[in-house]
Amino acid sequence: MTRSNTDYASEARRIHDIGKLTDRHIARATGVAPSTARAWVARTRSPSGRRAERLVELSSVVERLTLVLRPEYIPVWLTKPVAALGDEKPLDVIAAGGYRRVARLIAAMESPTAA
């Protein structure tokens, strides 16, 4: 793997660790098989193209969620229907290219006036 490819695999490992995401969560958001996401987390393979893009979008979401949710709750939040997303699940919205919709929702959660 090249340095940049290694960085993407490291990003998969990082969100697995800080966001408590499983290979199935990562796979769902990026559109790959769980075995592929597992290889990314193990750093034996690395995503490229659209899958790498979805992975870094997921990473951005996880980083921001760690500021407003307990890490153990992040996978739950990502997989449950959210009214503000039209009852869609955030992982599915990310997988469909809707990162900005999820990011706007998290921005509202980060705002002190959101309470």
Pull the structure tokens for residue 15.
């969100």
pLDDT in tens, 30-85: 999 999 999 999 999 999 999 999 999 999 999 999 999 999 999 999 999 999 99
CA distance 68 to 35: 30
Closest by Cα among 56, 75, 71 to 11: 56
What's the structural domain count of the chain?
Answer: 1
Q: What is the mean pLDDT of residues 11-39?
A: 97
**Residue 56 is part of which domain span?**
3-114
Closest by Cα among 78, 68, 72 to 18: 72
SS3 33: coil
pLDDT in tens, 80-102: 999 999 999 999 999 999 999 99
pLDDT for position 3: 47
